[in-house]
Chains A and B, each alone.
Chain A
Amino acid sequence: MERLQNVTKKIGKLEFALLSPNEIRKMSATKVITADTYDDDGFPITMGLMDPKLGIIEPGLRCKTCGLKVGKNGCPGHFGHIDLAMPVVHVGFVKTIRNSLRATCRACGRILLTDNQIKEYKELIEKHRKEGRDTAYIFKNIVSDCKSSEKCSRCTREIGKIELDKPTSFREKGKKLTPSEIREWLEKIPDSDIPFIDINITAARPEWMVLTVLPVPPVTVRPSVTLESGERSEDDLTHKLVDVIRINQRLQENRDAGAPQLIVEDLWELLQYHITTYLDNQTSGIPPARHRSGRPLKTLAQRLKGKEGRFRSNLSGKRVNFSARTVISPDPNLSINELGVPIEIARELTVPVRITQYNIDWCKQLIKDTAIAIKHEETYIPQVNYVKRYRENGIEQRIKITDKNAEEVAEKLEVGSIMERQLMNGDIGLFNRQPSLHRMSMMAHRIKIVTKKTFRFNLSVCPPYNADYDGDEMNLHLLQGEEAKAEAEILMKVQENILSPRFGGIIIGGIHDHISGCFLLTYKDKQFSKEDASQILSAIGYTAKFPDNHEENGKTYVYGRDIFSVLLPKDLSIEFKAKACFHCDTCKAPNCPYNTYVIVKKGKMLKGIIDENAIGAFKGKILDRIIRDHGSDAGREFIDTVTKMAIASITKYGFTTSIDDEDIPEQAKQQIHEGLEKAQKKINDLITAYEHNELESLPGRSLEETLEMEIMRVTGRTRDMAGEIASRHLGLNNSAVIMAKSGARGSMLNLSQMSGCVGQQAVRGERISRGYQQRTLPHFKRGDLGASAKGFVASSYKSGLTPTEYFFHSMGGREGLVDTAVRTSRSGYMQRRLVNALEDLKVESDGTVRHTSGEIIQFMYGEDGVDPARSLNGDAVDIDRIITEVKEE
C-alpha cells in the first residue's frame, strides 16, 4: 500500500504555446475589476486583486475556488483576468508583430509572396526541420522578400513601409497604427500563411500577441507580507497590476463617456506603458517603473532572468536537507576516505533506516539505547529521533523518541516502519568544497564521529578539493536512500577518484611533510638503528618480518629504503628518475652518482630516493602503479601507510625551517655583489650604446624594444647568477633545500630570491615604466633607463628591500592580485559555457558519443574508446611493460 503511494509520475514532455483570449477567460477564476487589495477590516475585496478565489496565502483559510488550504498538497492558486478596455501590444512579441505586418497585406491578410515562392519556402522549411537545422534565417529572408514588394499580387493594394518605434508603437508609411488596427490586420492573416511568419498555428495566432485580456497570476505567485508593525506590504506584481487596473478603468470610463480623442489616446498609451513594464521592467526606451522608495520594480521578466532569476536560481539549483557546513581542519590519523564529523552535526543529521525482519532486533536495541544516550550526552551514542509508521489508510505517523517513550516504541516497532537515526561511524556522506570545478570536488567519505567542531580529513585529500586549512569551510550531504548509498560507495568514494579523468594520473598522493619525510627516510643511503626503525614501523602497525638489517660497530642498522620497502607490494618492479634528479648531460641511469634513479625490484627498493615523483600528488609513479595493479583499495591503503610512515620518520629526524636557513656566508654575498655590479655595468653599456645609436636592433623590433629585451635578459641572468651562488652554499643539510629538492614545498627560485637577489619586477611583462613624467619615481632622473630606476630589485628578501625596490615589488605583486581576480571570473564563465554545451553528451553502448537528442558527435569516443581516467597519462596500454612481462614468462 505504501508502495502505491510512492508511484512516481514521469513528465514526458513539455509543450509551449500562447494563451488565446478565450483560454485566458476560461481558466480565470474571477474577473478582477477593483484596483485594490484589502478593505479597511483587512478582508480581501471580492473581484479585487486579492480575491480569495485566486487562492489563499494565509494558513487556516480555505480557497473559494477549490476549497483547499495552504500547504504542500493545498491550493496551488488560480488565475484571474482583467478585460482590457482597448487592446495593447505585448512587448515580448513586437519583433514578430513587426515581421507579420511587413510580410502580409493589410487589405487581404495574405503573405506577400508569389505562389511559386510559397512553394519553394515551404519545401526549404520542411527540409531544414527534418534535418534539425536552424530555420531562423529562412524567415529573415521571407520578411526581406516581402518588404521589397510594392503591391500585393492578390488584391493590388499598395504596401506601405512598416516601421517600429521602440518599444511598442508601429507606423505604416509614417502614420501611426493603433493596437486595434494591428489586431484587426493580424486577424486577417489566413491560417495557411501563418507558417511563413515563424508561428506554429497549433500553438498561436498572431493576433493573440496583441492583448485584449490580461491574465492575473494567483496570489500564491505574489504573496503579500505582513510587516512587524502589522502593515501589509504587497508584492511588486500586485503593485503593477493595481496600476494596470486603475488606468484600464479610467480608459473605459473616458471612452464610454465620449471623452476627446486626445485624452483617450493618452490613457491608452499609459495603459500600454503599464502593461509593458508589468511584463518586462527593463525594456529599453522606456523608464522602468519604480517603487515608492525609488527601487525599480521586479516584474515578470525580471523574475525569470539572470543568475538570481527563477531558472538559474530555483529551477537549476535546488535546496537540500540533510546537509552540514563547517570549518575544516587536518587529521593525519584518519584514512583518506574517512571524515571526522563533529558530534553536534552528528546529532542533528539523520539517516532513515527501514525496519525489516532482518534488522528489527538491532533497531529495537538502538531505540532502547536512545533513552540512555539522552541521559549521557557527553559520550556519543547514536540516538533515534523519530519513528515513522504507516497506518492502514496510508497516513504517516511520526513519533518522537524521548527517554520516556523509548522502551514502549521499541516494543511496538513493526516491520515496514522507518526510523530516523542519528549518524554513526561508517555512514556514508558526500563531502564537497566550492567552487566545484570538477567531479573530484564532491567525493564520498566514511563518517567518523569526533569531538571538537570542525570537519576533519586526511591532508592527502586537499589537492582534489583544492582546500587548505586557513579557514576554508566545506559541506557534507547525507544520503537518504539505499540506492544512492550504493552508488556513492561504488563511484564516489575517495579511492575511486585517485585517478583523475583530466589526464589519467593520480590526483591524490603525498604532500608536503609526507614527501620530505620519505625523502629523509631514503636519501643518502640513510640508515636507522634497530630501535628507531622499530618505532617507525610500529607507527604503521607493521607486524610482519623485520626488514633486512646489518651490523656495524656492534649495533644493528636498517637502511631507510628497506624500511620503505615494507610498504611496497611484493610484485612491484619499477624504475624511474626521482624529482631530485640533476638532469646531467649524460644520464648514467642505473648507476646514478647522486643516487636519484629509483630502482624497485619485486617489492624491494634497491636504489634511489623517494620523493615527489614516487608518492606525490599528480606525479607519484609508485602510487600510480600500485593503484593500477592492485586496485583503488590498495592505493588507499598505500597512501594511508606512506603518510603515517613519513610522519613517523620526519618526527624521528626532526625537521624545521627558519630564517637562518637562508643565511649565506659573507664571501658568497661578496660574490653576488660583484655579479650585480657587473650586470649594472653591462646594462649601462647597453644604454650608452643605445643613446649613441650603436645598438643593433633585432629583426622586426625597434631600437627601444631591443634595448628593453636585452636589459631584461641581463637582469634575468643576474638573478639566476645570484641564485646559483646562493644555492652553492645551501646544501642538503638545509631544511628549506630539502623541501625544494624533494618537491615537498617551495622551489629553488624561492630560495634564491630569499638569500640571493629578488630580481627584475615586471608589470605586463615589461620593466616598470609608468609613474611620473619620464620616470618611475621622483628618486630617479628623468629618462633614466638604468636597472634600479626600472624595477630591478638587487636586494634579497632576507637582507630587505630599499624603499624604491619595495615600491616596485608591490607594483609587481598588485598586478598578480588583479590578474587572479580577473582570471577566476573569466575562467568561471568559460567553464559554464563549456559545461552547458557538453553536458548532454554520453557514450552509448555502441561506443559512439551522442547528444541526448540522438545527434552523433563522435563515432568512437576519443577515436579509440579509451577512458582518460583509466589511461596511462593518455596512453591506452603500456606496451613496453607487456613486452617485458611476456619476455619474463
Chain B
Amino acid sequence: MAAKKPAKQKKTKKPVAKKPTKAPFVKKIPQKKIIKKEPVKKQKMKPVEKKPKKTKEDKPVQKTKPSGKQTKKEKEPVKEIKMVPPPPKAPEEPDEHKKIRAQIHKILKNNTLPYNIINEIIKRVVKDKKLESKLGRIVEKTMVAYQKTCIDPTEACGMVGAQSIGEPGTQMTMRTFHYAGVAEINVTLGLPRLIEIVDARSSPSTPMMNIYLRDEYRINPDLAKEIANQIEITRLVDVADIEMDLTNMTIAIKLNTKTIEKKGITADEILNSVSSIKKTSAKKEKETTIKINLDEPGYKQLQNVSETLKTLKIKGIDGIKRVIIRKEPNEGYVIYSEGSNLKKVLEIEGVDPYRTTTNDIHAVGRELGIEAARNMIIQEAYNTLSEQGLNVDMRHIMLVADVMTADGTVRAIGRHGVSGEKSSVLSRAAFEITVNHLLLASQRGETDGLNGVAENIIVGQPVSLGTGAVKLVMSHGKKKT
C-alpha cells in the first residue's frame, strides 16, 4: 500500500501541468477495464467500492490494492481545486490480514481466486482463530467451489445479459415520479429510468445530486446551510418585488429583507448583479430599494428589462433548482438537490468531491472519466431495478455498462450508438433503417465477414456462439466391428 501511494501522487500532478487550459476535469483513463495483474476481482460490492462517492458508509470499508488504485484515478481531476482535502486514506491492512493473505497466496500457488473471496476468508479466519490451522483445507474447498461456478467458454453471455435485464422490464412500473431516498425530491424511476440509462440521454429527465459535505461542514448546520445557499439558484424574483414605474420609465426593486438574510445575500451583491444589465444604470435608493433607469427610455425596453430582471441570477449554480438539507444518521448533513451541475458543485469549498454524486451519467463521464461513468451506469441501473424489487445479477448490468463505454465514450444502446456502429452490414440492416445501411455499404464497398449472430441467421448458417462455436469434426473412419 505504502509503495503505491507516491506513485499515484506523481500521476495526479502530471495531467494538471500538461494541459492546464482545456478541460482539466476530463481525464483520459485507459479505456479498457481494470484487472491487470489480478484478473479476478470482486463482484457485488464493486461499484460501491470503486466509486468512492455515493452511498458509502462513513469510511471506506477496506481498501484494496487494485481498487484503491482505481479510486484514486477517478478522484484525480478534483486535485485542481484549491483547498481540496487529500483523498480519504485507505486504512492500512492490519498485519494479521496481510499474514493470512500471504498464506492464502502460498496455498493457491499458481491458481487464482477472486479478490473478495480471499477477503471474505480472511475476515472469517481473523474472527475465529481456530480456523487458521485449517486454512489450507478451506482454501482448497473454496477453489473447488469457485471453479465449479466459473462460466463456460463460448457462453453467449451478452444474450443472457440482455434477456436478464429485458425480461423483468415487463414487471416494472411505468409510474414516472416517485420519491427515492428523499421524500421531497421527485425522481424518475422504474422502466422510464431504465430506458433513459440504456439510451444514454444527454441529460436525465429528473437530474438530481447527492452532495456530501466534509469535515466540519457536515456537522455544523450553519455551514451546511451556507453551502446550500451557494448551490441553490436564487433569482431576483425570489428575493425582491419588481415594480415598473411607467410614468418615470424606471423600475424599482424592493428587496425582501427577510429572505435576503435567509439566503445570505447582501443588498450590494444584488446591486452588482443588477448593474450588469446592459443599457441601464442601477442605483441604491434606500437600504432595501434599487432603482433602475434606462439609458434609452421606451416602453418596449422597459418591458424587456423587467423580464430580464425577473430571471436574473443572483446567486447559486445554474441548473440547480432546489436543495434540501437533511441530517442523515452516521453522516451529518447531506444536501440533496433537484437539478444537477457536477462541475460547479465540485468546485465549492466544503463539498466532499469524493462522494458527491449525480444521476447525470454524461456529466460524470465528462468530469470524472469513462470509468466513473461506467460505474455510474451500473449503479443507477442496479438501483433502479432493485428499487422495484427485481433481482438481477450485477454481472449482467456490468456487461451492458461495459458495452456502452467500451470505446471511451458513453454510447447509447440502439441505432444511434452501439447497434449503429456494428461492423456487420446485415446486422445493422436487420435492426433499423434497413435501406440506408445497405446503400451506404454498397457505396463504401463494405464487406460482411459473417461473424455475428444476426448475419449468420440471415444466411442460414450456424452461429458461432455456444455449441456452434466449437469447430470439431469427427472423422468418418471405418467402423470397428
Contacts and interface: CB of A to CB of B under 8 A. Distances in A.
Interface in B280-303: none
Nearest to A199: B443
A880 B156 CA distance: 31
* Interface hub of B198, B439, B464 (most chain A Cβ within 10 A): B439
Interface stretch (B30-38, B214-222, B305-313): B30-38
A304 B458 CA distance: 13
Interface string B119-131: 0110010001001
A866 interface: yes
A879 B445 contact: no
A502 B430 contact: no
B445 A866 contact: no
Given A132-B423, A837-B418, A14 B194 contact: no
A877 B164 contact: no
B451 A840 contact: yes
A13 B448 contact: yes
B444 A203 contact: yes
Nearest to A885: B141
B43 A874 contact: yes
Contacts of B183: 698
B82 interface: no
B419 interface: yes
B445 A13 contact: no
B56 to A, nearest CB: 19
B60 interface: no
A304 B435 contact: yes
A861 B178 contact: no
A501 B160 contact: yes
B453 A765 contact: no
Given A437-B167, A834-B162, A838-B161, A858 B149 contact: no
B39 interface: yes
A871 B392 CA distance: 12
**Interface size range on A against B:** 35 or more
Interface in B102-149: 114, 116-117, 120-121, 124, 128, 131, 134, 137-138, 141-142, 145-146, 148-149
A834 B165 contact: yes
Interface in A279-335: 280, 301, 304-306, 309, 311-312, 315-316, 318
B396 A868 contact: yes
Contact of B120 (A501, A505, A879): A879
Interface in B458-481: 458-461, 464-467, 469, 476
Given A16-B445, A833-B419, A866-B151, A882 B394 contact: no
Contacts of B120: 879
A204 interface: yes
User: What is the predominant secondary structure among interface residues of chain B facing chain A?
Assistant: helix
Given A306-B434, A843-B152, A852-B452, A859 B32 contact: yes
B64 to A, nearest CB: 13
Contacts of A874: 43-44, 393-395
A630 interface: no
* Interface hub of B165, B166, B466 (most chain A Cβ within 10 A): B166
Contact of B461 (A10, A487, A819, A842): A10
Interface string A465-498: 0000000000000000000000100010000000
Interface stretch (A262-270, A402-410, A687-695, A822-830): A822-830
Interface in A847-889: 847, 849, 852-853, 855-871, 873-880, 882-883, 885-887, 889
Contact of B170 (A823, A841, A844, A873): A823
B135 to A, nearest CB: 9
A412 interface: no
A852 B39 contact: no
A504 B453 CA distance: 26
B170 A843 contact: no
A837 B162 contact: yes
B438 A700 contact: no
Interface stretch (B11-19, B239-247, B349-357, B398-406): B398-406
Given A304-B434, A883-B124, A843 B445 contact: no
A603 B434 CA distance: 60
Contacts of A434: none
B457 A882 contact: no
A610 to B, nearest CB: 22
A804 B301 CA distance: 55
Contacts of A857: 399, 402-403, 406
Contacts of B101: none
A437 B164 CA distance: 9
A199 B421 CA distance: 18
B166 A437 contact: yes
Nearest to A827: B169
A835 B175 CA distance: 25
A338 to B, nearest CB: 25
B398 A862 contact: yes
A16 B460 CA distance: 18
Given A859-B34, A874-B44, A882-B142, 9 more contacts: A132-B423, A502-B391, A701-B184, A823-B174, A838-B162, A840-B451, A843-B155, A864-B114, A886-B138
27 contacts: A204-B445, A309-B434, A311-B429, A315-B430, A316-B457, A438-B167, A487-B467, A698-B184, A827-B191, A830-B166, A833-B198, A837-B158, A837-B418, A840-B454, A841-B161, A842-B466, A843-B151, A843-B152, A852-B465, A853-B423, A859-B33, A865-B40, A867-B150, A867-B155, A874-B395, A886-B137, A886-B141
- What 6 pairs between A and B have smallest CB-CB spacing? A203-B445, A831-B166, A841-B158, A862-B395, A827-B169, A200-B445
